[in-house]
Amino acid sequence: MKKIKNLAEASDRIKLAVKNNEKIIIYGDSDADGICSTTILQEAIKNLGGSVEMVLFPNREDDGYGVNKRALEYLKTVPPCLFITLDLGISNQAAVDVLNEYGFKVIIVDHHQILDGIPNAEIVIDPAQADDQSDSRHLANVGITFKLAEELLGSDMSAQLRKSFLELAALATISDMVPQIGDNKMFIEEGLRSLKHTFRPGLRAFFDILGEGEIVSGGFYKIIQALNAAESIDFKNSAFDLLIESSKNKAEELAQDLIAKVNYKQLKIQQIAQEVERRISQKKDEAIIFEGDPAWKLTLAGPVASILYSKYQKPTFIFKKMDNESAGSVRSTKELNSVEAMKTCKDFLITYGGHPQASGFRIKNEDLAKFEKKLKEHFNSLKN
């Protein structure tokens, strides 16, 4: 099988940066896939004898997904430096132009669908690129990052380090709900097997708090939920802090805090889902579910959309309505491709992107009605 396009190039470029003592920044997404990818890459670079100057995660709720305006403002004075994105970036054409202007050298590592074109980065890894012949489109970002770590370290990757990376690859692969085939299946099987004996204090903490029995019978979902529960504040993320924590006591504290967040989040998700169900009870013939509210948290829109999508089997758009803009999450099927649907609205969407089955968007409130109407027309036309 062919290697992922630009994997070797990215590896060589990172090695060069380490050799030349270039500053390296990692900018990762704030979910389990982004956080686990970031942990693996940072530790791989450390094992090369290098170091990562700064690790950043966007606050999706307040500042938006991807390389957002606040990040660009924050990063202005940092270059020269190598800037690596993980699990985001492929839809950030304009932001990458700004990063280039500031003097960053950008490497994008992403697995989301390509929109209008590929950002003008020095190196772009995304198996969704048309000319990527690796057949790795099913990988979560963590799978790509694992392969990048293998490329970086080669035979210097000890068996123990490989296992430790596989544990993270397993958790994030399950979390991202990619098909459990090929390498994904291997990550999950080998990673979960190793997880029970993990040396990583941040993961060990869950076994100590919840008990091994509960975790194993729960399919490790408790850990995955916890890794997804942290919100990034000032570009920091406590789930990432947990994964890189070396003290057992501190790790238990952080894990405990995340578990409490999960419980609270579950309650909120149920409440919002019930509210949406109440609203759509009068709209049974509509082709889609399209609901928003100022009181709903953007970070809960995805889980709420997942619940409603699986119950009603309709493309589901759930959003938080803010003062001037709304932002939301979408769940649908591969056939009823949500990214393609939003492409028909790209002239008035501020941002959009993701996977056919799971995506997101940001829009001006004045365009919401037009958006809903166009989406309904689009999905109705697919039915006929």
Residues forming contacts to Mn ion in the complex (CB under 5 A) are 33, 87, 141, 176
CA atoms of 177 and 291, how far apart (whole Å):
24
Q: Give the amino acid at 133.
A: Q
Place of tokens 């995506």: 359
How many helices (H) and strands (E) the chain has is answered by 16, 10
Structure tokens at 293: 């509210």
Which residue's CB is nearer to Mn ion, number 61 or number 87?
Answer: 87
Which residue's CB is nearer to Mn ion, number 32 or number 318?
Answer: 32
Which residue's CB is nearer to Mn ion, number 35 or number 289?
Answer: 35
CA 120 distance to own-chain centroid: 21
Structure tokens at 46: 């450390």
CA atoms of 124 and 5, how far apart (whole Å):
8
User: What is the length of the chain?
Assistant: 384
State the minimum distance, in angstroms, from the CB of residue 231 to Mn ion: 17
Which residue's CB is nearer to Mn ion, number 35 or number 71?
Answer: 35
Which residue's CB is nearer to Mn ion, number 141 or number 351?
Answer: 141
Which residue's CB is nearer to Mn ion, number 87 or number 252?
Answer: 87
335-341: long-range pairs with CB below 8 Å, 24+:
335/382, 336/379, 336/382, 339/113, 339/115, 341/315, 341/375, 341/378, 341/379
CA atoms of 275 and 130, how far apart (whole Å):
41
CA atoms of 344 and 115, how far apart (whole Å):
12
State the minimum distance, in angstroms, from the CB of residue 172 to Mn ion: 7
Which residue's CB is nearer to Mn ion, number 33 or number 245?
Answer: 33
8 Å CB contact between 231 and 59: yes
State the minimum distance, in angstroms, from the CB of residue 251 to Mn ion: 24
Residues 6+ apart with CB under 8 A from 222: 206, 210, 214, 215, 259, 262
Which residue's CB is nearer to Mn ion, number 288 or number 298?
Answer: 298
**3-class DSSP state for residue 353?**
strand
State the minimum distance, in angstroms, from the CB of residue 23 to Mn ion: 26
Closest to 272 (Cα-Cα) out of 302, 294, 298, 304:
304
* Strand partners of residue 27: 56, 85
8 Å CB contact between 47 and 70: no
**Residue, CB closest to Mn ion:** 33
State the minimum distance, in angstroms, from the CB of residue 99 to Mn ion: 21
Which residue's CB is nearer to Mn ion, number 292 or number 353?
Answer: 353
